[in-house]
């Protein structure tokens, strides 16, 4: 089995995990804001490239821009990101106090997490389908024997199932965090 297939599936799991990271229920995490893009220096850049983000309490984030002149633009981008909290500009530092999510917000976050997990599963299944079709084409053209094709199909399916379980574990952790 190719490293390329394994790497592709690993990338899918990592991307799905990143997509679900901001969905933690009211618990402060730098993942909530690191991906947000801010207009700075003539282009859009992720917050993590233009500021230091730190957790100062269970529900408090502090964003300290490297350049004080970008603080206002950064606050605007953080407000537009719909974090469920209002960023407060305190000098050149931006404080974000995250409220405990309401029952409705928790349900909404759970739906989003489940949707992200399903997108990840679909991506893995598409990767599996492409790899199996490639093995079938190779067998049909005579590049590999039929027995090897069957083994490859089985290995590809087992690998896909393994990565789907990893996505399910990430989803379970996110849902558990939302319930606590």
Residue 26: per-residue pLDDT = 62
Q: What is the DSSP annotation of 34-95? A: TT-EEEETTEEEEHHHHEEEEEEETTEEEEEESSGGGHHHHHHHHHHTT-SS-EEEETTEEE
Above 90 in pLDDT, residue 21? no
Residue 12: per-residue pLDDT = 96
pTM assigned to the model: 0.73
Q: What's the mean pLDDT in 86-113? A: 86
Question: Which residue segment(s) compose the domain that 175 sits in?
Answer: 3-20+102-179
Residues 106 and 147 in one domain: yes
> What H or E segment, with its residue span, contains residue 122?
helix 103-140
Q: How confident is the model at residue 177 (pLDDT cuts 50, 70, 90)?
A: confident
Output the domain CATH number for residue 68. 3.30.1360.40
Q: How many residues does the chain have?
A: 180
Residues 110 and 75 in one domain: no
d(CA 133, CA 137): 6
Query: Is the model more confident about 74 or about 166?
Result: 166
Output the domain CATH number for residue 172. 1.10.132.20
The β-bridge partners of 52 are 64
Residues 106 and 133 in one domain: yes
Please check whether residue 53 is in contact with residue 93, taking contact to mean a CB–CB distance below 8 angstroms: no
Domain final position from 80, 97, 114:
97
Percentage of the residues of the chain whose pLDDT score is greater than 70: 98
Domain final position from 73, 97, 121:
97
Above 90 in pLDDT, residue 114? yes
Average pLDDT for the chain: 88
Residue 121: per-residue pLDDT = 97
Above 80 in pLDDT, residue 24? no
pLDDT in tens, 61-98: 899 999 888 888 888 888 888 777 788 888 889 998 88
User: Tokens representing 74?
Assistant: 């950064």
d(CA 17, CA 35): 13
| Strand, coil or helix: 139 | helix
Residues 167 and 129 in one domain: yes
Domain final position from 46, 67, 97:
97
Residues 61 and 88 in one domain: yes
Domain count, the chain: 2
pLDDT in tens, 1-18: 589 999 999 999 999 988
């Amino acid at each position: 089995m190719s490293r390329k297939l394994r790497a592709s599936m690993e990338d899918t799991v990592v991307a799905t995990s990143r997509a679900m990271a901001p969905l933690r229920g009211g618990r402060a995490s730098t993942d909530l804001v690191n991906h947000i893009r801010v207009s700075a220096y003539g282009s859009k850049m992720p917050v993590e490239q233009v500021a230091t983000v730190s957790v100062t309490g269970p529900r408090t984030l502090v964003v300290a821009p490297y350049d004080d002149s970008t603080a206002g633009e950064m606050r605007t981008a953080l407000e537009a990101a719909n974090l469920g909290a209002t960023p407060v500009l305190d000098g050149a530092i931006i404080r974000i106090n995250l409220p405990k999510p309401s029952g409705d917000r928790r349900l909404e976050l759970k739906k989003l997490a489940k949707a992200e997990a399903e997108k990840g599963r679909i991506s893995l299944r598409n990767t599996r389908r492409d790899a199996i079709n490639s093995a079938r084409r190779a067998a049909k053209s005579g590049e590999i024997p039929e027995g090897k094709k069957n083994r490859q199909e089985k290995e590809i399916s087992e690998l896909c199932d393994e990565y789907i379980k990893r996505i399910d574990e990430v989803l379970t952790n996110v849902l558990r965090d939302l319930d606590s």
